[in-house]
């Protein structure tokens, strides 16, 4: 039975002075601090490899902030970045707007929030988990093809898809308070497998000391 690990790496801070919920909008690049976070993630994975981790495969969401986060790790580990649309940010009807709390006072947006359990303002949580897990399994198997037993893959994705995937893996309800997500910028949520079975979920924050100065909009 093969063992393998898939690391879900959230992107770094985005340059977003207008505090827009940018969702899937193009051209939202990392800030200077975000680039520093991406370097920190590369250092984290380099240390993991130096300690014996067999990291063989690197994948990124197509959005530019994820691609830029992956680049230092790609350079440090000598891995090509494979792009996968299935690990993209969740669709959100508030995309492109700022001051979301104030928007909710406008009647035209009330229909977006009638069912927070689904949620009605965007892509259903269950759909996010299904596409993420399909990608995770495929890239887990590809890592094993490349490196054999114990191989590891890194998937650079986004807060909400990572968080609901973790909640599903832990057998928890997918509905949650966005303010309480444990998925900070460039955090690493690691899924350990034995064969097809998910046996452990681990969490690390390589950029923990940089978070105090970071802008972090829930749902972005």
Q: And the tokens for 53?
A: 């981790």
The average confidence (pLDDT) of the chain is: 95
Predicted pLDDT of residue 101: 85
At 218, the pLDDT band (50, 70, 90 cuts) reads: low
Does 220 have pLDDT greater than 60? no
The percent of residues above 90 in pLDDT, for the chain, comes to: 90
Q: Which three-class secondary structure state does DSSP give residue 128?
A: helix
Give the model confidence (pLDDT) of 12-65 as tens digits: 999 999 999 999 999 999 999 999 999 999 999 999 999 999 999 999 999 999
Does 94 have pLDDT greater than 80? yes
Residue 75, preceding bond cis, omega within 30 degrees?
no
DSSP bridge pairs for 2 = none
Mean pLDDT calculated for residue range 60-89: 98
Mean pLDDT calculated for residue range 91-99: 93
Does 79 have pLDDT greater than 60? yes
- Helix ranges (H only) for the chain are 32-50, 64-77, 100-103, 125-147, 159-169
Closest alpha carbon to 191 in 4, 2, 1: 4
Determine the distance from the C-alpha atom of residue 80 to the mean position of all C-alpha atoms in its chain, rounded to a whole number: 18
Q: Is 193 in contact with 84 (CB distance < 8 Å)?
A: no
Predicted pLDDT of residue 182: 97
Q: And the tokens for 201?
A: 């979920």
H/E stretch holding 169 reads helix 159-169
Count of other CB atoms within 10 angstroms of residue 20? 19
Predicted pLDDT of residue 206: 98
Sheet architecture: strand order including 81-83? 81-83, 54-60, 151-157, 3-10, 188-194, 197-204
At 216, the pLDDT band (50, 70, 90 cuts) reads: confident
Predicted pLDDT of residue 23: 94
Give the model confidence (pLDDT) of 145-176 as tens digits: 999 999 999 999 999 999 999 999 999 999 99
Predicted pLDDT of residue 5: 98
DSSP bridge pairs for 9 = 156, 188
At 1, the pLDDT band (50, 70, 90 cuts) reads: low
Half-sphere exposure of 119 (CA within 13 A, CB side): 21
DSSP bridge pairs for 83 = 60
């Amino acid at each position: 039975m093969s063992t393998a690990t898939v690391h879900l790496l959230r992107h770094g801070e985005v340059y977003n002075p207008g505090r827009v919920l940018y969702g899937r909008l193009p051209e939202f690049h990392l800030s200077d601090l975000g680039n520093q976070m991406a370097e920190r993630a590369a250092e984290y994975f380099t240390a993991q490899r130096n300690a014996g981790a067999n990291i063989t495969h690197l994948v990124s969401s197509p959005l530019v902030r994820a691609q830029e986060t992956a680049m230092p790790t790609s350079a440090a580990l000598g891995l090509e970045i494979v792009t996968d649309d299935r690990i993209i940010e969740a669709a959100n009807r508030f995309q492109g707007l700022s001051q979301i709390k104030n928007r909710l006072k406008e009647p035209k947006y009330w229909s977006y929030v009638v069912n927070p359990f689904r949620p009605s303002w965007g892509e259903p949580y269950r759909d996010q988990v299904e596409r993420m897990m399909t990608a995770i399994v495929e890239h887990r198997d590809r890592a094993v093809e490349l490196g054999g037993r114990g191989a590891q893959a890194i998937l650079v994705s986004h807060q909400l898809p990572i968080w609901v995937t973790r909640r599903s893996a832990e057998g928890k309800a997918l509905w949650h308070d966005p303010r309480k997500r444990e998925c900070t910028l460039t955090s690493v949520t690691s899924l350990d497998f034995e064969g097809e079975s998910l046996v452990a979920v681990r969490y690390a924050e390589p950029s923990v000391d940089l978070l105090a100065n970071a802008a972090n909009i829930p749902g972005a």
